[in-house]
Structure 1
Amino acid sequence: MNTDTWPVSKTVSVVVDTAGWFDPFAQRLVKDLISSGHQAALIRDYDDVPAGNVAFYLSCMRITPLEILARNERNLVVHASDLPKGRGFSPIVWQVLEGADEIPVTMIYMAEEVDAGEIVLQDTIYLEGHELNDEMRDLLGNKIVEMCLDYTNSADLPESRPQSGESSWYPRRRPNDSQLDPHQSLAAQFELLRVVDNERYPAFFDYRGFRYTLRIDKQGAIPTSETKG
């Protein structure tokens, strides 16, 4: 291994171009990287990305210009699917709607084609079927932090491999994707209720000429003796 290109202490950028749910995880990642002996910073604007060893682009909404990627030796992103399956948008949401309870999490090097870079690390988050949107984000955020630390703290540069197999693409979710059918039971639509965002794209239904929104919050586990069905 060439220690000049994979030093023990690395200069690391954690790039998050949009404020949102990942912010506390990004802040913790930077803190943990510094505690591990690296130089790390949270970057909001692509123009502020410094030259360095590693840049993680996490929860980013914009395409990163090639001249920005050139500033770091290695640029990585983490995607919640078994790439090349499930490229695109909101992969964890689409998989929950498909009935999945094991969500692959894949770290890849960034490439010109979206979500098409070589695979560096893979792990899995496990769902029990009751988790709501915020809880799924917590599981994913913690896993992303863990994988980024594992990558950066590795004594040797982790090996990567090309993606293989047939690819698939998830489209961007829109507010109308949170629409419920008032003629179906809540149980039949529970997976959709699990993934809605109460603030940004709440569940809603149209009935008798009006539109209604629903908020879903978990109140806690029901004692076994009271559980039915």
Structure 2
Amino acid sequence: MNTIHTVNILVDNDSWILPYAKEFACWCESKGLKVNFARAQSELLNCDISFFIGCVRIVSSENLNKSRLNLVVHESALPAGKGFAPVAWQILEGKRIIPICLLEATNAFDSGDIWVQESFSLIGVELYDEWRRKQGEATLSICQNFINRYPQIEPKKQRGLETFYARRTPNDSELDIDKTIREQFELLRIVDNNKFPAFFSYRGKKYKLEISEYAE
């Protein structure tokens, strides 16, 4: 029976997910696992399991071969919703139950077998920092769930209609001045006031809007 003794945890950028990945690393160590916390593919070691959390670069075949199993988190009901920024897109669609999968990382994009599938809930008023916190907590939970259950769990093949979400850019935070706030509230929920703020164009100029909860 294969058991887990050594773990890679890779976060290859300065992502918002970094504190949750570090918390997961500490949790793994508390379980007696030897953890290599990597910030670049070149730092990956030969190990039992590798977790790629919030990564923005495709992991090479050479580095995938360093682990018996490579896992990545994706927040959609795969194979629907492959691609980029799945939580933001689903908030725009008005969804409040967000699926989250722990799947095998392969050379085919978001197409590996699913090892664990869970979900987290939104109530429809969470702004960027709030729903990111829920996403981070769900990421931590699903990775811990895998460690606790392995090797008594079996992966499942993806089944169903394959769809893709496009990469979002700062230009996607543009508001339509002819629409109401109510009509664009979901868009306001997914903007980051610093990195990709809401803005609108009027009379030849661009104006930035910041949103936060009003505490009376």
Q: Distance in 1 between matches of 2:47 and 2:92?
A: 39
1:20 and 2:10 aligned = no
Is it true that 1:141 corresponds to 2:112 in the alignment? no
Does the aligned pair in 2 maintain the 1:12–1:38 contact within 8 Å?
yes
Structure 1 residues 62-71 or 151-160, which shifts more?
151-160
Amino acid across the alignment from 1:23: L
Find the structure with the greater CA-based Rg.
1
- TM-score after normalising by structure 1: 0.91
Given candidates 3, 18, 22, the residue that maps to 1:6 is 3
Instruction: Give the corresponding residue for 2:197.
Output: 202
Partner SS for 2:59: coil
CA-CA distance at 1:219 after TM superposition: 2.8
Aligned partner of 2:146 among 137, 148, 151: 151
What are the ranges of 5 or more consecutive residues in structure 1 without an aligned counterpart?
A: 223-229
The structure 2 residue matched to 1:117, chosen from 112, 119, 122, is 112
Calculate percent identity across the aligned residue pairs: 37
Q: How high is the TM-score relative to the length of structure 2?
A: 0.97
Q: Are the equivalent residues in 2 in contact too, given 1:36–1:153 (CA < 8 A)?
A: no
CA distance in 2 between counterparts of 1:155 and 1:62 reads 27
Using the TM superposition, give the Cα deviation of residue 157 of structure 1 relative to its aligned residue in structure 2, in angstroms.
Answer: 4.1
> Unpaired runs of 5+ in structure 2?
none
Query: Once superposed, what is the RMSD of the aligned Cα atoms?
Result: 1.2
d(CA) in 1 for partners of 2:101, 2:151: 19
Partner of 2:156: 161
Amino acid at match of 2:75: A
Q: Which residue of 2 aligns with 1:225?
A: none
* Deviation readout 1:116-156 (Å, 9 max, x if unpaired): 00011011110101001111111111111111111112253
Cα offset for 1:109?
Answer: 0.6
Alignment of 1:60-139 (within 5 A): 60-139=55-134
Q: What's 1:193 paired with?
A: 188
